[in-house]
Amino acid sequence: MKKDITNDEDLKKMLDCSLRDSETFWNEFYSNRERNIPFFENKPDENLVSYFKLGYLNAGKALDLGCGPGRNAIFLAENGYKVDAVDLSEQSIKWATERAMERNLEINFINQNIFELNAEESKYELIYDSGCFHHIAPHRRMDYIHLIKKSLKQGGYFALNCFIENGPLGGSDISDWEVYRVKSLQGGLGFTEDKLKGIFHDFDCIEIRKMRKVNEDEPVFGVEGLLTAIFQKRG
């Protein structure tokens, strides 16, 4: 990478390098599939399932940001969506592809940084993010919002799960400025309902609530410590 900063993208890449090497970290994270990680189970998020029951979601094209092993992308594909699913980790994409093949599902898995994704304008009826947003550094947040605004259709839905601030799963409460002083997201940033409404103020807020903790025998994923939110693009 060049050392001179001559434009905004140079500045963002410099700030990226001041934090954790995300690609290496997530490849190592997903390399051991036997780890006792709750979301390694092949179950969709309970809130995502609820959006179908509430009538918000039906079918169309969906983008799954930070798809991990593909559990939510698989659920969407099984329920009428044509799915593009992107993740930085080659290991997670490999695992997700294997899972989809086992169910004879066609899902377009993309091994790429979401900020390098060449998304078409107004392509998706749904953009879903289960656990990617709280790992996004503050200097990339506007790029994240721009990606949602650009690629989501008018009236389309954007939904996400993220750490609750100072919750049982972590959720650091440090300020955006403090991130660069300590050079760390401290495992992932935490958010409150007000913070999410402020960040995504250009969207209509449909619902923000805590994720429901589910029993092991339920066919969905749900744990304490996460906020779930669904927004709609105005228009």
- pLDDT of 171 > 60? The answer is yes
Specify the higher pLDDT residue, 44 or 36: 44
Pairing of strands 81-87, 60-65: parallel
CA 1, 131, 180, 149 dihedral sign is positive
Q: Check if the beta carbon of residue 69 is closer than 8 Å to that of residue 98.
A: no
For residue 27, give both structure tokens: 């490849």
- The residues spanned by each domain of the chain are 8-31+43-233
Top-level class of domain 8-31+43-233: alpha beta
Residue among 66, 69, 86, 75 nearest 31 (CA): 69
Using DSSP, state whether 60 is helix, strand or coil. strand
Residue among 209, 214, 212, 215 nearest 228 (CA): 209
Distance between CA atoms of residues 39 and 3, nearest Å: 39
For residue 88, give both structure tokens: 């930085």
pTM of the model: 0.96
pLDDT value, residue 1: 54
pLDDT value, residue 2: 61
State pLDDT tens for residues 93-137. 999 999 999 999 999 999 999 999 998 999 999 999 999 999 999
pLDDT value, residue 235: 78
- pLDDT of 3 > 80? The answer is no
For residue 158, give both structure tokens: 């954007």
Residue type (1 letter), 165 = E
pLDDT value, residue 188: 97
Residue among 168, 130, 221, 185 nearest 16 (CA): 185
